[in-house]
Structure formats: C-alpha cells, structure tokens
C-alpha cells in the first residue's frame, strides 16, 4: 500500500540528517525526526478534517437539526442526534444555546443529551490528531464508541424523566422565527477555510508542545515503565477518567503525550478513558451547563457519561 | 441604526465586534454597537449558533464570524 504520509517522512529525514547533520543513531536525531514527522502529519490531517467537516456543517446547522428532532421519540433519534453532534463544533461556549434551543423546540431531554455528549467527544480536530498519532483503526473505534456513549448515555438520561431539573427560565424563553440564512457555495467554502485557520490558531501551540513532550518520552523513558505502575490495576481506568476532567483545553496536545505513554506500557483502554473524559466531561463545560441544569441533572449527566467512559476503558483493556 | 453582537463572550464574539467596528469606520458611518451577552436575550432571536450579528433587530448572520466586507454589505 502506498503511504500517503511518505513525503512527511522524507522531509523529516532531510531536516534531521541533512540540514541538522545529526547521526541517525542518537536519541536526539530520533526525537527530532519523530517530532517533525508527527507535527507535519497532524497539521495535514487537521486541515483536511476541519475543512471537510466545516463544509458539511454549513449544511447541517443546529437550527435545522432542532426542527428535525422536535417532538421525536425513540432510540433511533438518539442516534441521529449523536450523528449530528459529530459535525457540530466542540467549543464549550456553544453548548448552552444549543441546549436551550433544543429544549425550546420540544426535543426530548434524552435526545438533547445524546447530542450534548457526542458533540465535544467526537469532533473533527480530535479525530485528525488521533488519526495522525494512533492510526486510522483506533480512530474509527474511538468514533464508534464515542457515538455509542452519546446514544446510550442520552437514552438512559431520558429514562430518568428529569425535565423538572432543567433551570426554569429555559422553558420561558420564546424565540422569534428565524429566517434560515442562505449560503452560496463560495460562502460555504470560505466558512470552512475560516474554521481551519481559527482552530489551527487555537491549537498549534498545544500540538507542538504535546508532540515534543511525547517525542522526548519516547526517546528517553525506559520501555515498559508504565506497564509496571499503571498496568493491570482495576483502578487505573476510573483514575484516568477523573484526572481527565480538569484538563480540557489541552486535549489536542494531550493525544501525542498519551500515545508515548501507551508505547511505554499504559493500557490502551485506560488511555482511551482518559482522552474521552478530557473531551466529554470538561470542567468548563460543566460550569457552563450549570446555567441551564439544576444540580441533580448535572450530577446525572456526569455520572452517566463517566460510567459509560469507564466501561469503555475496561472493555478495551479486556479486549486488546 | 443599531448593531447588536450576540454571544456569551467567547473570542469569536470579540472578533465579530471588531469587524463590525472596522466596517463602520471604513464606510464612515456611525452606529451604536451593543453586545448582548445574556443567554436569555440571545435566545430570543431564535439562533443557536453564536456569534451572531443583528442589525435593527434583524438577524443578519449567525454561527460564524462575518468578515468586514460582509458586514459592510449588511449595513448598506
């Protein structure tokens, strides 16, 4: 099979061995080669994924989605909500307007949560970085399980019938009818291009820092060091998920670091649980959601999503 | 003319406000720019994706940072 990333390896080799004139046997050469290659690959995939998903997003707006999901029942619509969650933005500042808009349009709470859980968990930027670092196979597994957590998590929350635990003002908001904005092809492409630059500007520092740290760890930490400590302990998965909650903004940089830990023996399920907690249960998101959810519903949301993530982690440690 | 910028204060809203100011400057026009940051007020416009720009109570664009050129067209 042709390796589409081959040009990046060629470039990384040129930089390390020709430009910097390092000997291939040294740790330093290995680390620099690794960092240059990974950074190029990540940026290439980020540009590709963000552009593609943003273009799709210009068609599937939340305004259209809530019309589609209003008054619908059944797990099939949890699935649709989760699917739409994949292509909507992962910025935590948009989760409150989305939540209110859905509730106002009569979208049942459980289906709204399927959307809210999947939206940050499976986003194009994380997909791009996972793909670059862990490969396509693990990325597909991540996406499938991310969506499953959204579908099942939302469905379970729906069963609890917690409509009372939504902040009262949410039900009082009456919004005007909105004229759907018409967009030309050119505007959609410009939108997609702008999304690429906005997101890259936000994450490039974390990515370079993360890849560098990961590269150093790869080069210098002894093999299997983590298998010894974080190995098969049953507690590893929930602890990893707990640590993940306050680490939101660094998720793009987190992925390369986690990969280097996996290479040194951190079980893959534990790693997955950590990354999922970082994205799905971020502290800023929880704080923002407090505006629209009463404490009981927040706790339910965190508990259901957290349990789903921990179970996913165990499943992977067991299978792989 | 009243220009409203709807958004809870994320960096995108700040950028949109800057663009609106520049658009006014370049056209040599004056208008009041009001930031709407309370979620209850934002939601009454029927939008879910922020930031959004509203001119004289009409939602002109939402879910994206409109460029200076785009805003100029809205104003004219």
Query: Does the pLDDT value for residue A80 go beyond 80?
Result: yes
Whichever domain contains B40, its CATH number is 3.40.30.10
How many beta-carbon contacts under 8 Å exist across A and B? 71
Mean per-residue pLDDT of chain A:
89
Query: Does the pLDDT value for residue A285 go beyond 90?
Result: no
Number of domains in chain B: 1
Which residues of chain A does B44 touch, with a Cβ-Cβ cutoff of 8 Å?
A: 173-176
Identity of the residue in B8, B12, B48 whose CB atom sits nearest the CB atom of A62: B48
Instruction: List the one residue out of A253, A28, A17, A222 whose CA is nearest residue A126.
Output: A253
Q: Write down the pLDDT at residue A179.
A: 75
Q: How would residue A252 be classed by pLDDT, with cut points 50, 70 and 90?
A: confident
Answer whether A109's CB lies under 8 Å from A100's CB: no
A306 vs chain B: nearest CA distance in angstroms?
A: 27
Which residues of chain B does A97 touch, with a Cβ-Cβ cutoff of 8 Å?
A: 8, 39, 42-43, 47-50
- pLDDT tens-place string over residues A152-173: 999 999 999 999 999 998 898 8
Identity of the residue in A66, A176, A291 whose CB atom sits nearest the CB atom of B48: A66
Average pLDDT for residues A8-17, to the nearest whole number? 91
Which residues of chain A does B64 touch, with a Cβ-Cβ cutoff of 8 Å?
A: 191, 194
B20 vs chain A: nearest CA distance in angstroms?
A: 17
Domain that holds residue B41: 2-75
User: Is residue B13 annotated as a catalytic residue, yes or no?
Assistant: yes
In order, the DSSP letters of A122-139 are S-HHHHHHHHHHH-HHHH
Answer whether A58's CB lies under 8 Å from A183's CB: yes
Identity of the residue in B8, B43, B64 whose CB atom sits nearest the CB atom of A173: B43
Give per-residue burial for A121-147: e unless 16+ CB within 10 Å, then b: bbbbbbbbbbbbbbeeebbebbbebbb
Which residues of chain A does B12 touch, with a Cβ-Cβ cutoff of 8 Å?
A: 91, 198
Say if the Cβ atoms of B65 and A198 lie within 8 Å: yes
Tokens of A264: 């040194």
Q: Write down the pLDDT at residue A229.
A: 63
Q: Write down the pLDDT at residue A27.
A: 82
- Least trusted range by pLDDT, from A176-180, A186-190, B59-63: A176-180
Rounded to 5 degrees, what are φ and ψ at B56?
Answer: 45, 55
Q: Write down the pLDDT at residue B68.
A: 93
Query: Does the pLDDT value for residue A1 go beyond 60?
Result: no
């Amino acid at each position: 099979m042709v390796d589409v990333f081959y040009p990046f390896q060629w470039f990384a080799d040129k930089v390390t061995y020709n430009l910097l004139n390092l000997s291939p046997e040294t740790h330093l050469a290995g680390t620099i080669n690794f960092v240059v290659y990974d950074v190029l690959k990540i940026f290439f995939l980020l540009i590709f994924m963000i552009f593609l998903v943003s273009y799709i997003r210009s068609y599937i707006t939340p305004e259209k989605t809530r019309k589609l999901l209003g008054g619908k029942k059944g797990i099939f619509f949890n699935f649709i909500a989760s699917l739409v969650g994949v292509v909507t933005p992962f910025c935590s500042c948009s989760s409150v307007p989305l939540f209110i808009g859905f509730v106002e349009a009569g979208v049942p709470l459980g289906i709204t949560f399927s959307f809210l859980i999947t939206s940050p968990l499976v986003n194009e930027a994380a997909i791009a970085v996972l793909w670059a670092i862990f490969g396509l196979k693990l990325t597909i597994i991540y996406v499938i399980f991310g969506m499953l957590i959204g579908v099942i998590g939302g469905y379970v929350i729906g069963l609890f019938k917690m409509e009372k635990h939504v902040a009262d003002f949410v039900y009082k908001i009456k919004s005007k009818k909105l004229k759907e904005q018409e967009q030309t092809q050119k505007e959609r492409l410009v939108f997609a291009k702008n999304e690429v630059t906005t997101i890259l500007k936000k994450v490039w520092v974390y990515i370079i820092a993360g890849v560098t740290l990961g590269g150093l760890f790869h080069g210098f930490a002894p093999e299997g060091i983590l298998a010894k400590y974080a190995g098969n302990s049953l507690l590893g998965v929930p602890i990893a998920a707990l640590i993940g909650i306050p680490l939101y903004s660094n998720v793009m940089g987190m992925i390369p670091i986690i990969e280097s830990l996996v290479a040194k023996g951190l079980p893959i399920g534990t790693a997955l649980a950590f990354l999922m907690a970082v994205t799905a249960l971020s502290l800023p998101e929880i704080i923002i959601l407090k505006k629209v959810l009463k404490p009981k519903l927040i706790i339910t949301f965190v508990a259901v999503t957290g349990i789903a993530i921990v179970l996913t982690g165990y499943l992977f440690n067991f299978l792989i | 003319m009243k220009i409203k910028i709807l958004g809870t204060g994320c960096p995108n809203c700040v950028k949109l406000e800057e663009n609106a100011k520049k658009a006014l400057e370049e056209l040599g026009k004056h208008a009041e720019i009001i930031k709407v940051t309370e979620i209850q007020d934002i939601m009454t416009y029927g939008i879910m994706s922020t930031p959004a720009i509203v001119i004289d109570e009409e939602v002109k664009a939402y879910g994206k940072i409109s460029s200076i050129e785009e805003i100029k067209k809205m104003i004219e």
